[in-house]
Structures are given as C-alpha cells and as structure tokens.
Amino acid sequence: MCPGLAEALRGAKVVRSDKERGVFVAWFGGHGIHAYDADGREVAFWNLAAAEEPSEAAVLADIDETVRTGRYPWADGQWWARFPGSES
C-alpha cells in the first residue's frame, strides 16, 4: 500500500476494495463515504441520507451496492472515461 493511500485510510472504520475500478472505499463515521485511488487521492465522495448517523450495516450495504454497480459520484470527470457505463 502506498504511503498516500495508507494516510488517506488512517482512522477509517470500514474499508472496502473495488478491484475492478482500482479504488478503495472508506467510511470514517458520519454520513460521508469516500473513495480513493491507489495513490490516496479522493476520487469520489457521497453522503448517506439519514436523519441520524447511519448504522455500520447501512453503510456496508451502500458500499457493497456501489462497488457492485460501479455507480460512483466521481470527483474527476476523467474517471467517467475510464469506466464507461458508470455514469448511468
């Protein structure tokens, strides 16, 4: 793991790897979920809509669905080109 990625993931409560797209999805608590590339750059971020802090089970279900479908809200438009079909 590169030092940038290790630093980006430090303190995460949950980390999942999306090997197909080369990203690591992390949840640090709260409503936000982050996705990082292998260099530790944040490439996607989204929130879980909930009145209260989401449960770990809800977070895992959302992350698993996002990894399965590849429907990330990419931060950098160049990522759309790398993964056709993710934008739909």
pLDDT tens column, 8-56 = 999 999 999 999 999 999 999 988 999 999 999 999 999 887 768 888 9
Token code pair at residue 45: 């971020």
Strand order from edge to edge, sheet including 32-36: 14-18, 23-27, 32-36, 42-47
Entry pTM = 0.80
Instruction: Give the domain range for residue 65.
Output: 3-82
Closest Cα to residue 72, out of 31, 22, 7, 15?
A: 22
Would you say residue 11 lies in a domain? yes
Question: What sign has the CA pseudo-torsion 62, 53, 49, 38?
Answer: negative
23 found inside a domain: yes
Which helix (H) or strand (E) is 14 found in, with range? strand 14-18
Identify whether 88 is part of a domain: no
Query: Is 71 inside any structural domain?
Result: yes
The pLDDT value given to residue 70: 87
Domain total in the chain: 1
Domain membership of residue 12 (yes or no) is yes
Give the mean pLDDT of 50-66. 87
Residue 22 is assigned to a structural domain of this protein: yes
Contact between residue 86 and residue 71 where contact means Cβ atoms under 8 Å apart: yes
Distance, in Å, from the CA atom of 82 to the CA atom of 30, rounded to the nearest integer, reads 30
